[in-house]
Structure 1
Amino acid sequence: MNEKEIPMNLRDEEQNPSEETKRFISSLPSDIDCYGIKMFKYKGCWYEKNILQAILSFQKSFEPQETDIIVASFPKSGTTWLVALAFALVRRSKYLSNDGHPLLSHNPHDLVPFLEIELYNNVNKSSKPDLTKFSSSSSPRLFSTHMSFHALQVPLKKESPCKIVYVRRKVKDVLVSLYHFNKSHKGVLWGGEGSGVEEITIEDLFESFCTGVTYFGPYWDQVLSYWRGSLEDPKHVLFMRYEELKSEPHAQIKRLAEFLECPFTEEEEQSGLVDKILELCSFRNLSGLEINKTGKSWIGLDFKTLYRRGEVGDSKNYLTPEMETKIDMITEEKLKGSGLKL
């Protein structure tokens, strides 16, 4: 079945989905993930119904501004860290001192909301999101997303492009981190609908992950969508690697600042501001804050589950040699000819 575009007559709907929107979603290819949740394939990736409705709503009503910044990733790829870094970078003139810094009292995702998980998700909401508070309080506006580049692109105008920063993490570590995160939430994820399945094995998730039928998957297709976007338009799409952020944080945060058009001045570097931002946004600091130990998101997600270990290579403690071989084979086949190395 071929992928479908949004019918013209659905593009002026209000936030609550109409019967036509529901029929459109129902007409898409569908499958069941390892939690028993029905997923729908749209523009090459799989989404749960509520998340897909939110994406369609975003595509219909989001009006991009030239200064917008969107942090994108596959789930459990370093999203929270990169969101914190982006916020600290572009807001540093407003919060010169760490004393009273918003990141000390708010989870990064409260400061940089997800487009499809929070702002346009109609779960417990009855109207379109009010984005005026972002325009009036600060510029640039900062958002985050897990949707594919193809889905994100729909409302972005060529003449007024946003800055998109994508972070990629090695697939095996993503899989293991996703397993532990999902285990904490028993299949009720990202503002979608849970199945009631209380426990799955890593083998169950592995099979679902390899077929690609998982939230925002397939992993490889999503990564490739942003990789190709960065090659086609490097001025507006930055492709970053989690492992490089870990191994060379100073170089990578300066690279990020340059891309976001807020480079560090010589005076800032000499004052140690780079180190201050890295420390503020570090795993050790963020995971130890009271808000991230006891707080919850608007959908009831415990912030503490966003911070497990954050290590590189942790997958070796959970995946069998056979699992690793299968993932290596899929990766080789998926990336063939792309120029991307995972």
Structure 2
Amino acid sequence: MESSSSKMSHVSKRNESEEYRSDSEIDNKLKEIMSSVLGKKGAAVTDLYQYEGFWCPLARLEGTLRAQKHFKPQPNQVILSSFPKSGTTWLKALIFAIMTQSHVSEPTNPLLTRLSHECVPFIEFDFRSSSPKLNLDVPLVATHISYTSLPKSIINSGCKIVYLCRDPKDVLVSTWHFIRKVLVNEEFSAVRDIPLEDAFEFFCQGLSFCGPYWDHLLGYWRASSESPERILFLKYEDLKNETGYWVKKIAQFIGYPFSLEEEDKGVVQKIIDLCSFENMSSLEVSKNGMIWLEKNGVNTMEIKNNTFFRKGKVGDWKNHLTHEMAMQLDQILEQKLSGSGLTFNVPLPSIR
């Protein structure tokens, strides 16, 4: 029989959830933003609204507002942050595996039967659901929210943040492919034929989910420069080139270091192999499964899991962008990052 204290706990959580879902303050804030900012259409052929300097589709904007007001980090929680299509699926898997490293070789490992997006919820999307999709007591969540718009509860908590960035040319190409694969139903049929040239122009104007891209980068880069003990800034290219080194670096940073015995037993390599593109993309759940985007706990769009796996290569942009397009984007980025110390021409320094 359920105890009275347990019943009270369930009632309290239900009331808190209902209050959270019917937040009139946030509803009014959304209306204010929508009325004061003219929605612009980006490459996804959907309205984007500017909030605190960044462009968001309505669902992500709503989730951001709710997270800012209601999100409460767990003790020692790790926040994985990135700009969309910067390697998030892979980094989620790596950090989840690091934090559950004792189970890396078990046949019941969640990463073998669930997409990493199900194992590691997005604050601005899955947080809105009344119950988490997977609860393994792993204090790890992810977000695409810009640093300046992160919930103050995260900033004040001292949570460790791992930020992953990627060459914007690959981000652009990956985003273009992703959008065309996701939004291919009748409602968004126009997306299927959107020219890459148009997507390129939108990206250069900053009109993309969570864009402008360079402002998103700079927010986390400057914060990591000021608080390197709290924010680890990673490049996708470095992670690909020296995966073993960076997996150990991440593990040390988030408080899950590998012992010498674990390294001798090959735990690091087992994590790398488990989370490799080749392994993850070949899993049954990745080939035939699907996840749902939610709005206030209601499923609104299904996304096939294989959509998250295309190539995972560095420099694939060369197969899609013209030399002139690449030069233009490089020049924009160089101008925007000027004086920051951040560059994509040389790798970040490694501490050996």
Q: TM-score, normalised by structure 1?
A: 0.86
Q: 1:267 aligns with which of 261, 269, 284?
A: 261
Q: 1:219 aligns with which of 201, 208, 213?
A: 213
Question: 1:40-51 residue pairs with structure 2 within 5 A?
Answer: 40-51=49-60
Question: 1:87 aligns to what?
Answer: 96
Q: In the alignment, is residue 110 of structure 1 matched against residue 118 of structure 2?
A: yes
Amino acid at match of 2:87: G
Query: By how many angstroms is 1:186 displaced?
Result: 2.6
Q: In the alignment, is residue 229 of structure 1 matched against residue 223 of structure 2?
A: yes
Question: 1:338 aligns to what?
Answer: 340
CA RMSD of aligned residues (A): 2.1
Query: By how many angstroms is 1:198 displaced?
Result: 3.6
Question: 2:37 aligns to what?
Answer: 29
- Whole-angstrom distance in 2 between the partners of 1:330 and 1:207: 12
- Whole-angstrom distance in 1 between the partners of 2:233 and 2:30: 34
Conserved? CA contact 2:104–2:270, under 8 Å: no
Question: 2:171 aligns to what?
Answer: 174
Query: By how many angstroms is 1:16 displaced?
Result: 3.9
Amino acid at match of 1:57: R
Question: 2:201 aligns to what?
Answer: 207
Question: 2:149 aligns to what?
Answer: 151
- Whole-angstrom distance in 2 between the partners of 1:75 and 1:117: 13
Amino acid at match of 1:337: G
Query: By how many angstroms is 1:157 displaced?
Result: 4.8
Q: Deviations over 1:59-94 (max 9, x none)?
A: 11111223111111111111011000000001113x
Amino acid at match of 1:224: L
Conserved? CA contact 2:68–2:152, under 8 Å: yes
Q: In the alignment, is residue 67 of structure 1 matched against residue 76 of structure 2?
A: yes
Q: TM-score, normalised by structure 2?
A: 0.84
Which stretches in structure 1 are left out of the alignment for 5+ residues?
A: 1-11, 121-127
Question: 2:281 aligns to what?
Answer: 287
Which stretches in structure 2 are left out of the alignment for 5+ residues?
A: 1-17, 294-301, 345-352
Q: Deviations over 1:266-314 (max 9, x none)?
A: 0011111111110000000000000000000123111101110011111
Conserved? CA contact 1:295–1:303, under 8 Å: yes
Conserved? CA contact 1:107–1:291, under 8 Å: yes
- Whole-angstrom distance in 1 between the partners of 2:133 and 2:292: 20
- Whole-angstrom distance in 2 between the partners of 1:286 and 1:335: 34
Question: 2:309 aligns to what?
Answer: 307
Which protein is richer in helix relative to its size? 2
Query: By how many angstroms is 1:195 displaced?
Result: 7.9
- Whole-angstrom distance in 1 between the partners of 2:214 and 2:239: 20
Conserved? CA contact 1:25–1:49, under 8 Å: no
Question: 1:142 aligns to what?
Answer: 140
When residues 131 and 317 of structure 1 are mapped into structure 2, their CA distance, relative to the original with a 3 A threshold, is closer
- Whole-angstrom distance in 2 between the partners of 1:329 and 1:168: 18
Q: Deviations over 1:6-27 (max 9, x none)?
A: xxxxxx9632463522322224
Conserved? CA contact 1:78–1:242, under 8 Å: yes
When residues 288 and 154 of structure 1 are mapped into structure 2, their CA distance, relative to the original with a 3 A threshold, is same
Question: 1:14 aligns to what?
Answer: 20
When residues 264 and 35 of structure 1 are mapped into structure 2, their CA distance, relative to the original with a 3 A threshold, is closer
- Whole-angstrom distance in 2 between the partners of 1:133 and 1:85: 17
When residues 157 and 176 of structure 1 are mapped into structure 2, their CA distance, relative to the original with a 3 A threshold, is closer
Amino acid at match of 1:315: W
- Whole-angstrom distance in 2 between the partners of 1:253 and 1:183: 32
- Whole-angstrom distance in 1 between the partners of 2:133 and 2:175: 34
- Whole-angstrom distance in 2 between the partners of 1:96 and 1:186: 34
- Percent identity between matched residues is 42
Query: By how many angstroms is 1:116 displaced?
Result: 1.1
- Whole-angstrom distance in 2 between the partners of 1:334 and 1:58: 29
Q: 1:165 aligns with which of 122, 143, 162?
A: 162
Question: 1:78 aligns to what?
Answer: 87
